[in-house]
Amino acid sequence: MTVLGLSCFYHDAAAALVRDGEIVAAAQEERFSRRKHDPSFPRGAVEYCLQEAGLTDASQLDAVAFYDKPLLTFERLLETYLAYAPRGLKSFLEAMPLWLKRKLWTPDVLRTELGGYDGPMVFSEHHRSHAASAFFPSPFERAAVLTTDGVGEWATTSWGVGDGSGLDLKAEIHFPHSLGLLYSAFTTFCGFRVNSGEYKLMGLAPYGEPRYVDAIREHLIDLKPDGSYRLHADAFTFPVGLRMTGRRFEALFGGPARAPEGPLTQREMDLARSVQAVVEEAVLRMGRHVHAETGEANLCLAGGVALNCVANGRLLREGPFERIWVQPAAGDAGGALGAALVATHEWAGLGRTVHEADAMRGAHLGPAWAPEEIRAVLDAEGLPYDEAPTEAALVDRTAALLAEGATVGWFQGRAEFGPRALGHRSILADPRDRATQRRVNLQIKFRESFRPFAPSVLAERAGEFFDLGGEGSGSPSPDSPYMLLVGPVRDARVDGEGLERLGRVESAVPAVTHVDGSARVQTVTKARNGLYYDLLRAFEARTGCPVLVNTSFNVRGEPIVHAPADAVRVFRRTHMDALAIGPFVVTREALPEAERRPFTAEQIAEAYGLD
């Protein structure tokens, strides 16, 4: 039973292939097209998934599954526009041509894009796709399921119970009442882009104070004790407008929205902290309610709000569930996988195998490149390189570079599925140097200096450095394989206010300690992470530190690198010190003098609007 799952036409298009219930491949289209959050039909991802499964074309599939029901979404749009008429006429006129020409004919479009595929097609509701992506790959035979995002068809939040190969969704909250859209409204009001700037807002929050929590609770959202909520819809313009917020927001929060790339003020920091606090409280209340209703010990999460790793960490530490598992591709990309699993287990009725860790294979579900393919790229680029004779030699060489303070691009094995780099398409550095955080942000990532970095840590030593819910520094740490839980850094100290906190972080690993003394942790095991685990062990042997800075291998505004040529391009145009790509190591010192420093700090700041 081979099923291809698809998500597209909104944002973060993706494809996933499931065979007999096992996940064979999954990838986002942005990695192939190099267009961040690409919403178009995922041609590159589909071609890869078919190739990984040994199929020549879509005719060999048993079914194709789509992650939502377009007609239900169209119904919501029409009812919403009618309810708000004559407001929203401009938005209506812009939206309708695309619907009438393409989205209403999604089944025909998909069949055409798949080369005339004429087999079965399964359309899963959006939140069912999210729920399936959370429960079916999880390590639980039974679990409660909670999904929260912006909107899918009508639903914005849903909860239910997964049992074996069944999934029973019991309750929903409907548009325009949306926790995800509330967070996105503040994202755009603070000058960041919706669907990509939410991470920035979460990273900015610890610099502020929760001064606006009461105003948000009084004027924007009615949050009930059971976690249900209603937005005060007249405070927002997103139901029918081309913007998320309007004059009501400006009146509530002291003036117009911050201009994109404009100066960050204390107001934006306080707004970020305040809406983050409200969302965390909502997630905690929802979690407690779902636990009370289901009695389940374990919880699975998906939907865009499940990428809010600060809220996830609080739910694990303060909530009632023993274990929490979050789908690593929790946003719309993961809907492709969820749809394929819905078709497999519910439409086709195949049984489910529960894996002790989970069924995601460490989220390493994307393409890999053979050494000869990488060598051809390096030769074509004229790059000098050394070839490690063994994996052990590669690990030892890279660990030595990191221990000497080098920043290393690490391109190994199959690419990750989801928004996080997990040790296959990563930029790595020593976490013990406080200056690493600013240097990597400004000279390699070309992004704002306030953005935090995440640590990768040997799972067996995670509890010594981070508190994800264990009882003490000597107790086992909860598993956090996908960098989706935030917890306190042990013995961290931070003082000061606002952005001045950035230079006042004290901990054993300051480069991965955020200004509230927390970190977004990835726990690394040999079984799940293979070569990356070996690298952490080698770094630990040299330094005594089992932690590395791990950030995604890309620069600002671009997707994570996909092919070897992408990695080489990023290496050449940044201040990265070395590139470990397959068995080959390239160092900046070995480059011609003219290529060693591609940009000055002033040029970077001017090009990207950085301070």
Instruction: Sort 555 into a burial class: Cβ within 10 Å, 0-12 / 13-18 / 19+.
Output: middle
DSSP states of 435-472 as a string?
A: HHHHHHIIIII---TT---EEEEEGGGHHHHB-SS-SS
DSSP states of 267-335 as a string?
A: HHHHHHHHHHHHHHHHHHHHHHHHHHHH--SEEEEESGGGG-HHHHHHHHHHSS-SEEEE-TT-SHHHH
Q: Indicate which residue of 11, 177, 562, 575 is catalytic.
A: 11
- Which residues lie closer than 8 Å to 431 by C-beta, 6 or more apart? 453, 455, 509, 510, 511, 512, 545, 547, 548, 549
* Distance of alpha carbon 580 from alpha carbon 281, whole angstroms: 42
Q: Output the 3-class SS for 12-36.
A: CCEEEEEECCEEEEEEECHHHHCCC
- Residue 202 has what DSSP assignment? H
Tokens 């799972």 locate to 459
| Cβ pair 465, 520 in contact under 8 A | no
* Residue 364 a catalytic site member: no
- Which residues lie closer than 8 Å to 201 by C-beta, 6 or more apart? 183, 186, 187, 190, 192, 272, 275, 276
Cα angle: 138, vertex 482, 128; to 5 degrees: 45
Q: How far apart are the first and last CA of the chain?
A: 54
* Distance of alpha carbon 398 from alpha carbon 396, whole angstroms: 6
Instruction: Sort 86 into a burial class: Cβ within 10 Å, 0-12 / 13-18 / 19+.
Output: exposed
- CA nearest neighbour of 168 among 127, 112, 212, 114: 127
Which amino acid type is present at position 132?
A: A
- Which residues lie closer than 8 Å to 551 by C-beta, 6 or more apart? 421, 426, 427, 440, 445, 453, 454
- Residue 10 has what DSSP assignment? S
| Cβ pair 279, 185 in contact under 8 A | no
Instruction: Give the residue numbers marked as catalytic.
Output: 11
